[in-house]
Amino acid sequence: MSDPILAVEKLDKTFVTPNGRVHALQDIQLTIRRGEFVTVIGPSGCGKSTLLKIIAGLDAQYEGNVLLDGEKIVKPSIEKGFIFQEHRLFPWLTVEKNIAADLSLKRRDIRAKVDEFIEIVRLKGFEQAYPRELSGGMSQRVAIARALLRNPKVLLLDEPFGALDAFTRSHLQEVLLDIWQRNRTTMILVTHDIDEAIFLANRVVIMNPRPGTIKKVITVDLPYPRKKSNTSFQQYRHMVLNEFEKVDELELVDSSGI
């Protein structure tokens, strides 16, 4: 994980609204290494999702540079997979067809890859199920498999487990970590959950609001798999919390119960 894959250089973003100009991001400087898992955490309104959408190419109106393998990002592409909080599956397609999407399952290579990812995201036996027959967690696994099938250089996840119950969320964190360890796809995940941020990441990016700035980047030097109840894990958790003056104003999730 030594060579950089993504570089964000002096990024500024301002929205023009009927009520005036909103300075969303200011002087964002961030380098992501190939194969790295980075989480971004901060209060609502700090620009986390805006940053992710710019990296995805969904918003090209910004100042500064956002480079993927040295090329400026100006539009969406298959090189950048994006997972929303809502799964956004096609309701008229089965699990395997949702994963394949515009790719033909009649092609042997596509058929083999779809079968492989169904196994990886633990949906074996549900190939012919429709989205209405799936739980929220299962639907998100389909969305992750669909994105990974395109072999993106970077997978961007915008609070993908935010609407799920605690048990399902914890399970999917483990599934996502397993996928990352298997494939070493570069991943950037936005979250409000402190424990989720530490459980998954090589580095945690902490953001300040209004305008959004990077307050600190913490390297998580813990082996995988991680136990959220361990003293070392809790030390990192307190390290993140200590970066904020008033934790109760952050709207961050304390999922540890501590």
Helix (H, G, I), strand (E, B) or coil at 257: coil
Predicted model pTM: 0.89
Helix (H, G, I), strand (E, B) or coil at 78: coil
- For the chain, percent helix, then strand, then coil, each to nearest 5? 35, 30, 40
Distances (CA, A) of 83 to 16, 74, 89, 188: 26, 19, 11, 10
Spatial CA neighbour of 241 closest among 188, 199, 195, 210 = 195
pLDDT given for residue 253 in this prediction: 53
Q: Rounded to whole angstroms, how far apart are CA atoms 43 and 41?
A: 7
Tokens of 33: 């290494």
- For 156, the enclosing helix (H) or strand (E) is strand 154-158
Helix (H, G, I), strand (E, B) or coil at 177: helix
Residues in the chain: 258
Q: What is the pLDDT along the chain (258 residues), one digit of tens a residue?
A: 568 999 999 999 999 888 888 899 999 999 999 999 999 999 888 899 999 999 999 999 999 999 999 999 999 999 999 998 887 899 999 999 999 999 999 999 999 999 999 998 889 999 999 999 999 889 999 999 999 998 899 999 999 888 788 888 898 899 899 989 988 999 999 998 999 999 999 999 999 988 999 999 999 999 999 999 999 999 999 999 998 755 444 455 555 443
pLDDT given for residue 16 in this prediction: 85
Contact 206/243 with Cβ under 8 angstroms?
yes
Q: What does the radius of gyration of the chain's CA atoms come to, in whole angstroms?
A: 18
Each domain of the chain, given as residue ranges in start order, spans 1-79+153-253, 81-151
Contact 124/138 with Cβ under 8 angstroms?
no
Q: Rounded to whole angstroms, how far apart are CA atoms 190 and 211?
A: 17
Helix (H, G, I), strand (E, B) or coil at 218: strand
CATH for 1-79+153-253 (3.40.50.170, 3.50.50.60, 3.40.50.300, 3.40.50.1380):
3.40.50.300
